[in-house]
Each structure stands twice: as C-alpha cells, then as structure tokens.
Chain A
Amino acid sequence: MNAKNEILGRIRRALADVPKLSPEEDVPVDWVHGQPLDTADILADLVEKIEDYKATVVQVGADEVAQAITDGLKAMGSQQAVLPDGLERDWVAAVEHAGVRVHRDEPPLSHTELNGIDTVVTTCAVAMADSGTIALDHGPGQGRRALTLLPDRHLVVVRADQVVSDVPEGLSRLAEAVADRRPITWISGGSATSDIELSRVEGVHGPRTLYVILAR
C-alpha cells in the first residue's frame, strides 16, 4: 500500500468513534468570520501600532505622497532604490528627485544585484490597524517577493482606503489574491528577533528599516 493510502486508512480507523456527519454538522464553530473591530479611529490605531514596532509612519494628504517619498528617502539616507512596475509616475520622479539611483526589475535583477540595492519603494494591498500589519499581494506596485526582502530599507505607501480595523477584514480583502494564487506577505514592523534572552532586537534578515507613508 502506498504511504498516502496507509495514512488515510490509519486516520479512518482512528476516527471510528466519530459519527458520519459533515464536518460542519459534527463540529459547529461559534464564531462569526470577517467581523470588524469597533475602533474609533482606525487610521490612528494603525499609526500607533506600527510605531509600536519602532517603524516610522508619516501621514500626508493624498497629493503630498511624492514629496513624502523624497523626504523619506533622504531621511533614510537611501542611495539606490529598486522600483517595481506599477508605481505612479510622479513617485518615480520623486525618487529621482531625492538623488537616489533608480533600478527597475526589468529584466529581473539577480539576487546579488538586489542585495546591493539599499531601498525598495512599494504600495500595498491592505493594512490591518489592530495589529499594525501591512499586507502585500505582490500585485502592481509591489513587485515580486525578493524585491521587498533583500534591500535593507522598505518604504511603503498605504492609502487610507486600504486600511481595515483588524485581521478578519484584512483576510477578506485578500481572498481574491489567494484565489488567483498570488503569494502574500504580511509585514508588521521591521524584521526582529527576541532569541537572545528574550530581549527584542529590531533588524535581522528582512529590511531593518520600515518607513510607512500613510496617504489620507
């Protein structure tokens, strides 16, 4: 017998006591999925929670994003930036305006090349206020996964209409991307570890600096 059939056989024998009902009938789940939190000011909550991870958040008007990108790159001391496809044109100009050398991922950059670039600028798919989480579905403006991983600084622009109160709503918004089999990356602050004496150190392998522009 192959391993699959043997394991399935073991499972069925082990569950001999379980009545032959559908999973939903057999074990009801008293939980309503997808519910929002009753948060008074969702944007303020997001800012507070992201800052709690020692990341930077700047809040600007929708028409001030380009200037905020220039300022952000200068503040982080960026020299080079990789820009995924799908970013707004004036944002690209803003990067150049900051005196930062622009790289495009076309043709795809090698890992070594990406590792030599210090900054990436992206959009996001959704942000979840309660946990201070920004989700990428690696669609337009976000690039493939390596782009937001190897550079040491990540500047991400979050639009106010992308912000939801909590994880359940966030997952609902990501359902389509999953159905399209797109990879998804959740980012809550910069990389961190508590592996030495449980004392938190910000910055390990992933981008050590997370810089968030919240466009209201």
Chain B
Amino acid sequence: MTTQRLTPAPPEGAWLGIPPFPKAVKTELENSTQRKNLRHATGTIRAKRAVRASEVHNWEELRTAGEQIKNRVGRHLDHYLEQAEAAMTAAGVHVHWARDGKEANEIVTRIAKEKAVDEVVKIKSMVTQETDLNEHLERNGIAAWETDLAELIVQLGHDLPSHILVPAIHRNRSEVRDIFTAEMGQYGKAAPEGISDDPPELTAAARAHLREKFLRAKMAVSGGNFIVAETGTLVIVESEGNGRMCLTLPETLVSVVGIEKIVPTFQDLEVFLKLLPRSSTGERMNPYTSMWTGVREGDGPQELHVVLVDNGRTDVLADPQGRAALRCIRCSACLNICPVYERAGGHAYGSPYPGPIGAILNPQLRGITSKVDQALPFASTLCGACNEVCPVRIPFTDILVQQRHRVATKKTSKHPTIEQGLMKAAGWVMGDGKHLASVQQGSKLAGRVFGKKWIGPMPVPLVDRWTQARDVEPPPTETFRDWWKRERGDR
C-alpha cells in the first residue's frame, strides 16, 4: 500500500545515498550545468562580500570582537544557557531542551499535534535540516512547507540543499522554471501558464504560491540566528519577508535553535549584525531583521516555544581546538570563497553543512565512524581562503589538520595501514640528511632512465591519479646536495 505524500519527496536515500567526498565529486564534476551555475554564483557573491567588508574601516577589529564574544559564550555556555532560559521563560516562552535531533523532532511534532494542525510553514533553518524535521513531520501526517525561495525550489525539485544561504545555488533560472511549472500546482497555487525564466517572474510566482499558505497557517517553525541571554530575545535575519510572515501571522511559533547560538547581551548584536549580512549576502544589511522577546499581547503568535538542541554540539565543545567551529554564524562566506566547493557543489559533502564549515563541523558533530565523515577533513587543499573571510575568524585549516589527525589515529588504532607505513617511512627519511641522500640515489637512477623526456600517463595505481592529466618532469641526475658538494665543497 502506498500512502499519498503531503509534500514533495526528497531524493531516494537523501543524504545517506551520497558516497564519500572523492567519489561523490566525480559525479558532480561531470555536471557541467551545475559547474557553470556555481562558478557564476560564487564569483558574484565573493566579489560583493569583498566590497562590503572593505567599506568597514575596522573590519578586522570587528572580526576579532565576533571571535571573542563567541569564545566567551562557548567557554561559559552552561551559564549563558541558563540565563537565556530564565529570561525567555519570564517573557512567556516555553523552553524545551533536546539532546539530539530525534528528541527535537519529537518535541515539534508533539506541539503540532497538541495544536491539531496538519501543516506548518517554515523559515529556512539549518538545524531542522540537520535533524531532518520535515520528513519526521511528514511521517506524522503534518506537511512542512518551506517558504524561503531557495528552499522552496529545493523542496519542489525533490532535491537536497547545496548551500547554507542559497540552498538552490546549483540551479539556474530555466531549471527553476521547469520545477515551478511541474510541481507548484500539485501543492497549492500553480505557476502562471507560460511563465518565463525571468527571476522577477519566478519570484512573483513563489509569492503568490506561498501567500495562501501564510494566510492560513496556524503554526510556524523557525530556526534562530541569535538568542540574547540577557533579555531572552530571539533574532532572525532574512531577506524575503517569508520570515516575518512566519514569525507574525500564525498563532503558534516553535523556534528550533542550536545551543551555541547565544550572545550575552543585546548590545553585542552590534558586532554580529554588522558582520553577518556583509559576509553572507554581501549587503550592508539584510532587508529584514526580526527580534522578539516573548509574547506580545495582540501582536504576533500568542504561543511561543524554543527548542534548544544539542545534537552533537557538546562533543564539538569538548575539543579545545575544534570548538572554535561552534563560533560559526552560518554566513557561508567560507563556501563562497572555497575553490573546492565552487567545483563540487554542496551535495558531495553528504550533509546540509557543505564547504569548509561542513568539512570541520560534520566530523565533529556526527563523529568519524562513517566513510563520509572520515573523508571530509581531506576535502580541502588547505589553501586557507576560508580563514581570511570568516567573520568570526574560525581557523579552518588548523581544525582540518587536527581532524585529519583524528581520522588517521582512528584508522590506525587497530591495524597499521599502508598510508601509515608510508608516513613512517617518510618520517625516517626526513629524520636525517643522510637518509634523504640515500633515497635520492633512487630518484637519480630514475633520472638516468628517463633522461630529458617528460613522463606521460602511467597506469600505475596512485601514480595514475597524478598522471591522468599531468606530465611529470623527469627527476635530475644530480640533486642539489650533489651540486653543492661539487661546487662549494663542505662549506
């Protein structure tokens, strides 16, 4: 028996259907439309971010302030969470705590059932992507409608998000038109007959499709960009106004927020509300920011819930180096600047958190038991572009190397591996100049074999990975240390 789904089904297997990064990348690289879309989009946003950051005369001090404030929160998280809970409760908010994604999903579902709703409208939220809330609600007979334009494109396209800020960054306008034409009518107001692929026209279709959902919704689910511990204020930054619709019109609002999203004081927001939009969309300010402090009689939802979610965050916190990743404010500047992300897209990372932040966060949040998570710390050339743009100065490359160490240690904990053998051998060779000199006898011999001719494709395992697209200059018959001995003697 097949049950009729309420919302468009995500792809078969969803994130679990995606292989480890090096293999997933192979497929993504062959998708030339996606590569073009990504190159265009990341290039555009990168340039905008650079301009907006350069406008702020004390940008570096601002980044340092962001880093320090977030460090203060992380290192005293218990204190700030209790303060935030007390302030929210005093303002009439029901505060819930969820140890993991499952518990968070159950809390939201329970509230929906208590309110007897069969649908909720949603503001784009990373944490509910992480917990896969929509599918949990679907299984419980509740339709979750994504209202952010890009999330809507992803949902209607039976797709997965590929970017933190612009989840449909991998789609171009004509793909969006095809998705809207095929799908909108099945779940509400159809796209106008003969709609073009002009972004304003597509946006107008989304406005009309979602407006009826906003007006009838009794319950909304949101994430949260910040919770102010001092006042119990929740903050959501957005562009389209779908957030304001969800935060204002329904009777019940449930905000699912990671425990690391706290800032100590209301005034501290000045740092983040300057850093975030400029780093994220490359704007001086995002069109709309909503702040609410409990229930306001006669204005907005009269029942407010906040679900504080751990779901692995305390594991991240336990690593004194890795915990810097919890400073992340989900701006996606690291994705946009990353040459690997630009070519791979988001799906290859096997998580709603792609790019450099995904490469350091997923293995810490989820652990390194799966091949997918073991591969993520290696999905980087360590070029360091992400370090420079991060508004809270996360040292991505340091954490990547630390996580590589964690993976290497785990992989070699039971049995020695070939890679470990090679590294041990390298350690021996490089431990003494004499050892290196003896190994160089081999490279010189190869140099005599190959002569001056560059080496072409070689069907040797591992070597072929290098020579599939590159020739290799033959090694010299005289190393530098030979030359030195010959020319300069023993000096």
Task: Establish whether A and B are touching in the complex (CB under 8 Å).
Answer: yes
* Residue ranges of A at the interface with B (Cβ–Cβ < 8 Å): 2-4, 6-8, 10-15, 17-18, 23-24, 26-31, 33-34, 49, 52-53, 108, 111-112, 115, 128, 130-133, 138, 144-146, 149, 166-168, 171-172, 174-175, 178-179, 181-199, 201, 203-207
Say whether A7 contacts B284, CB under 8 Å.
no
Q: What are 22 A-B contacts with C-beta separation under 8 Å?
A: A7-B81, A11-B259, A11-B314, A14-B323, A17-B320, A18-B76, A29-B69, A31-B65, A131-B285, A145-B300, A146-B248, A171-B266, A181-B91, A183-B291, A184-B290, A186-B285, A192-B239, A193-B203, A196-B168, A203-B207, A205-B210, A206-B288
User: Is B333 an interface position by the 8 A CB rule?
Assistant: no
Contact assessment for B82 and A8 in the assembled complex, using a CB-CB cutoff below 8 Å:
yes
Residues of chain B within 8 A (CB-CB) of A12 are: 78
Whether B37 lies near A15 (C-beta < 8 A) is no
B286 at the interface (CB under 8 A from A): yes
Contact of B68 among A2, A29, A128, A188 (CB under 8 A): A29
Task: Evaluate contact between B150 and A195: CB separation under 8 angstroms.
Answer: yes
In the complex, are the beta carbons of A27 and B75 less than 8 A apart? yes
Contact pick for B241, options A8, A18, A166, A204, CB 8 Å: A204
With A192-B239, A199-B199, A205-B214 in contact, do A3 and B99 touch (Cβ < 8 Å)? yes
> What does the 1/0 interface line of B60-71 toward A look like (CB < 8 Å)?
011011001101
Give complex CA distance A88, B207 in Å: 33
Inside 8 A of B129's CB, which chain A residues have their CB? none
Contact A188 B233 (CB under 8 A): no
A183 to chain B, nearest CB (A): 5
Q: Does B279 contact A (CB under 8 A)?
A: no
B207:A205 contact, CB within 8 angstroms: yes
Number of interface residues of B (CB under 8 A): 99
Tell me which of B11-19, B268-276, B429-437, B473-481 binds A. B268-276
Interface locus among B39-47, B131-139, B376-384, B450-458:
B39-47
Whether A14 pairs with B299 at a CB distance below 8 angstroms is no
- For the complex with contacts A149-B244, A198-B166, A203-B200, 14 further pairs of A-B residues with Cβ separation under 8 Å are A4-B85, A6-B99, A12-B78, A15-B75, A18-B75, A31-B271, A115-B215, A145-B300, A171-B266, A178-B228, A178-B266, A183-B296, A197-B37, A204-B239
Q: A184 vs B247: C-alpha distance in the bound complex, in angstroms?
A: 12
Residues from chain A with Cβ under 8 Å of B97 in the complex: 2-4, 7
For residue A17, which residues in chain B have a CB less than 8 angstroms away from its CB? 320
| Most chain A beta-carbon neighbours within 10 Å: one of B64, B239, B292, B296 | B239
Which residues of the partner chain B approach A10 to less than 8 Å between Cβ atoms? Answer: 310, 314
Taking beta carbons and an 8 Å cutoff, which residues of B are in contact with A? 37, 40-41, 44-45, 61-62, 64-65, 68-69, 71-73, 75-82, 85, 91, 96-99, 103, 147-150, 153, 166, 168-169, 171-173, 176, 199-200, 202-203, 206-207, 210-211, 214-215, 228, 231, 233, 239-242, 244-245, 247-249, 259, 264, 266-271, 273-274, 277, 281, 283-294, 296, 298-300, 308, 310, 314-315, 317-318, 320, 323
**Bound Cα distance from A7 to B312, whole angstroms:** 10
Nearest to B231 among chain A residues (CB) is A178
Contact A206 B45 (CB under 8 A): no
- A32–B144 Cα distance when bound, in Å, is 43
A115 to B248, CA, bound (A): 13
Contact A7 B207 (CB under 8 A): no
**Nearest chain B CB to A158 CB, angstrom units:** 15
Interface centre among A27, A31, A192, A193 (most CB of B within 10 A): A193
Please tell me if the beta carbons of A183 and B300 are within 8 angstroms of each other in the complex: yes
Measured CB to CB, the nearest residue on chain A to B259 is: A7
Let me know if A191 and B99 touch, CB within 8 A.
no
CB distance from A35 to the nearest CB of B (A): 9
The answer on a CB contact under 8 Å between B239 and A146 is: no
Partner of A198, one of B40, B176, B277, B290: B40
With a CB–CB cut-off of 8 A, which chain A residues contact B233? Answer: 178
7 closest Cβ contacts across the A-B interface?
A206-B241, A205-B241, A31-B65, A14-B318, A131-B285, A144-B299, A10-B314
Q: A26–B75 contact, CB under 8 A? A: yes
- Do A201 and B199 form a contact, CB below 8 Å, given A112-B215, A188-B284? yes
Complex CA distance for A195 and B298, rounded to whole angstroms: 33
**B72 pairs with A23, CB closer than 8 A:** yes
From A131, which residue of chain B is reached at the shortest CB distance?
A: B285
The chain A residue with its CB closest to the CB of B293 is A181
B314–A7 touching, CB < 8 Å: yes
B68–A145 touching, CB < 8 Å: no
- Determine the chain A residues whose CB is within 8 A of the CB of B173 once the complex forms: 196-197
